[in-house]
Structures are given as structure tokens and as C-alpha cells.
Amino acid sequence: MIADRLAVFPTSSSYTSIKCHLVCARRGRDLLAKRVDGLLIRFRAIAWQLLRSKLQLGEVMRNAAFSLVHVNYATGGVNELVLQAVDKARTRIQSRQEMIGGIRLWIYEAFRNGADPFEFTGLARGGQQVIITRYTILNDDARNNRFNLTNGEPVAAS
């Protein structure tokens, strides 16, 4: 028990000093508790968004696969045309920092910019099916907050 005590001489100035240490320690603990609460709230929001996206992924992949099968059937295959038309990435990642309780968290957002290189894909045959497939894939991606349909506008992190 004696080891738990501080080795100070009991004067009013040492009492004030110890009292100040106690107040500062409590304030620091309260600030850390607020920081933990803020980070926990953000963590739960991110985990919920990941879970929601994971649950929708099966439906999205099924729709995209069936749309691609329809395009390949209607056009006879557009794989070579797609591979030749791409020179730069249209979907890019933008990063920013978010401060939560004095801690910097990096936020990554996907956005689309530039002209569509596949604007005239399927003009000879199957164009309508190509447009339907493109619309299906882009809408499924936008619904899952992975990409945004508008040019240069970042995805809302919700």
C-alpha cells in the first residue's frame, strides 16, 4: 500500500499540483473516450456499408453476367473491340482525409471522367443490347456506391 503513494511532502502547493494532475488525467481520459466513440461510429458505418454491398453483389454479378451473354449473342462478341478501344482508365480513385477525434482517416472515392470510348460500340449490330448492358452495369455499380454515373463527380460515401 505504501508503494501506491507518491513521495511528496504534504504541503498546499503539492496538494494543488497533485489535484491539477488528476484533473488533467481525467480530461485526457474523457477526450480519449470521445475519440474512441467517434471512431467506433465511423467503423460501424463502414462495416454496414460493406455488408450491404456484399449482400447486393450476388444480384449485381448475375445481372451483369446475363447482360454480357446477351451482348455476345447479339453482336457475335465485342471483346476485341473493347480491348482496342481502351487507352486510359475512365474510372479513377480520388483520396481525401477525414478527421475523426484528431485521427486522420483516408477516404477513397471512385469517380468517372472523360468521354466514353464505347459510345459507338455495337453500331453495326446489337447496339441496343450493348446500351442496355452498359446501363445495367453502370446502374448496379452506382447503386452499390462503387462508381458514379456522372462525369468527374465523386461517389457519395453513405
4 pLDDT higher than 50: yes
d(CA 85, CA 53): 30
Q: What is the structure's pLDDT at 20?
A: 93
108 by DSSP, 3-state: which?
strand
- The pLDDT tens digits for 25-70 are 999 999 889 888 988 998 899 899 889 888 888 888 888 788 778 7
Residue 150: the pLDDT is 38
**pLDDT at residue 152, rounded to an integer:** 40
Among 10-14, 26-30, 109-113, 135-139, top mean pLDDT goes to 26-30
Closest CA to 85 of 114, 118, 122, 112: 118
Please report, for residues 21, 40, 51, 141, the alpha-carbon distance to residue 45 in angstroms, rounded to integers and kept in the order given.
36, 9, 10, 19
